[in-house]
Amino acid sequence: MTSSNTTIRNPWSWVPTSYLSEGIPFAMVIWVVGTMFKDLGHSDGEITLATASVGITWSLKPLWAAFLDMFKTKKFFVLWMEVIMAVLLCGIAAALPLPNYFQITIAVLWVMAFCSATQDICVDGIYITALDEKGQAKYIGVQGVFWNVGKLFGTALVVWIAGSLKEDHHLSTTSAWSWALVMSAGTLAALAVYHWFALPTGSIGDRPVSARAAFRTFGDAIVDFFKKDSIWGMLMFVLLYRSSEGLLLQLGPLFLQASPDLGGVGLSLKDKGLIDGTISTVVSLGAGLLGGAFMAKYGLNRRTLVIMALCLNIPHVAFVVLSQLAGPGHTLSFWTVASLVTLEKFGYSFGFVANMLYMMQQISPGRFHMTHYAFANSIMNLTLVPTQMISGPLADHLGYKTYFIVVMFAAIPSVLGAMFAPFPRKADNGHPHSP
């Protein structure tokens, strides 16, 4: 299923769509299905415990990352994962009318998460082997922006379509979500067709000749990873950087959707999609590109890392303000909600790029570049899984007003992690990265 064309392609022809196709399934698994379950009457605790637990799959990527070079190419796996995930989304759509749709959907999500994680490994492998370090820095903002566009495609467009089908065309909740899922499946299938022609193959290293050799290579990759200079300090940064964000990723959208009688904002699906899409998408695109430009100009160092950590975390105060304003009898204006949510989106998109660049340029370089990048990504997700799982039950227990104050205090470890992050690797010019 791969094309034989191995010519060097302009990164603009494949970097944006590759990371768009990464962001869509992640968003569907982690956020969109949660919005759907909320619309179907499930509680925050039930939703986050079920959907966030699936997120552990992205943390298990190293268990099979080293084996993906044994057969075919990175491009081969990207194409097939996109096709399989399109089929799985259609399967969820078909299951929604069934009485046990919740259990079936969660089971399908586990398979889809495995496919998405495999796609992530290979897309990242193509990125870090098709581009040199200067190119990686140049396009890191584009990478982050279009991953977030994929996220916004799900949280904005798919949700808006479901809401429009319900409110404007009077479809049942089940039918509306089924059609929205089929649309998202069609998008992934279309991206697979485009990537058949546009996606580079990526470099191919020395392939193991047997499963035993692959296990030996995997063992060597683990040993080499933990022998890196300052590895424990670097991993501590990766674990802490998104500590606050994990508490907000799933719960924030559910709070916007929750009834004012329960302390939520009470947005309709259409308004929620419009705020996350039409308004916030433009701001997020600009913020991600600005973040990439900022890192390209000032370089990856401790000073810029702290700045990016502050940019990532301080805007979380927007949800503190919203939670204090929302509640029974309090109807917030569309523009008040849109302004505050957009502020948080800007900070997230701007600050997110530093984390990816740190893993790419400080942790992963070496003999097992792709595998070590997958290791770092997986460890990063270890923070998100428990924080997202606990977010729903904790919000149910504390109430939204108190919960979002807790989220702000959870930002402190993130900033401290950036302040003390080690920089053991020298830049290309032979000088150490500035501390």
Q: Does residue 118 carry a pLDDT above 80?
A: yes
Bigger pLDDT: 250 or 266?
266
Domain chopping of the chain, boundaries: 11-419
CA angle 262, 98, 259 (to 5 degrees): 10
Rg (CA), the chain: 21
SS3 assignment, position 426 = strand
- What percentage of the chain reaches a pLDDT higher than 90? 53
- Residue 6 is predicted with a pLDDT of 42
Q: Does residue 106 carry a pLDDT above 90?
A: yes
User: Which residues, listed in sequence order, are joined to residue 327 by a DSSP beta bridge?
Assistant: 330
Confidence of residue 221 (pLDDT cuts 50, 70, 90): confident
Task: For the chain, give the mean pLDDT.
Answer: 87
Bigger pLDDT: 286 or 236?
236
pLDDT digits (tens, 9 = 90+) for 19-57: 999 999 999 998 899 999 999 999 999 999 888 889 888
- Residue 56 is predicted with a pLDDT of 86
Q: Does residue 432 carry a pLDDT above 50?
A: no
Confidence of residue 286 (pLDDT cuts 50, 70, 90): confident
Check if the beta carbon of residue 111 is closer than 8 Å to that of residue 28: no
The CATH code that applies to domain 11-419 is 1.20.1250.20
Q: Does residue 433 carry a pLDDT above 90?
A: no
Alpha helices in 331-410 (DSSP H): 334-358, 369-398, 400-409
Please state whether 214 falls in left (phi above 0), alpha (psi between -120 and 50) or beta.
alpha
Please state whether 399 falls in left (phi above 0), alpha (psi between -120 and 50) or beta.
left
User: Which residues, listed in sequence order, are joined to residue 432 by a DSSP beta bridge?
Assistant: 426
Least confident of 256-260, 313-317, 423-427: 423-427
Nearest to 374 by CA among 150, 153, 126, 195: 126
Q: Does residue 208 carry a pLDDT above 60?
A: no
Instruction: Please write down the long-range contacts of 192-196, taking CB distance under 8 Å and 24 or more positions apart.
Output: 192/21, 192/79, 192/82, 192/83, 192/86, 194/17, 195/14, 195/17, 195/18, 195/21, 195/75, 195/78, 195/79, 195/82, 196/1, 196/2, 196/3, 196/79
Q: Does residue 375 carry a pLDDT above 90?
A: no
CA distance 63 to 197: 30
Structure tokens at 151: 């996220």
Calculate mean pLDDT across residues 394-420: 94
CA distance 421 to 423: 7
Exposure string of 160-185, with b = 16+ CB inside 10 Å and e = fewer, is bbbbbbbeeeebebebbbbebbeebb
Confidence of residue 391 (pLDDT cuts 50, 70, 90): very high
- What percentage of the chain reaches a pLDDT higher than 70? 92
- Residue 136 is predicted with a pLDDT of 77
Bigger pLDDT: 121 or 86?
86
- Residue 435 is predicted with a pLDDT of 41
Dihedral over Cα of 104, 106, 110, 112: its sign:
positive
Nearest to 241 by CA among 145, 150, 310: 310
- Residue 110 is predicted with a pLDDT of 96
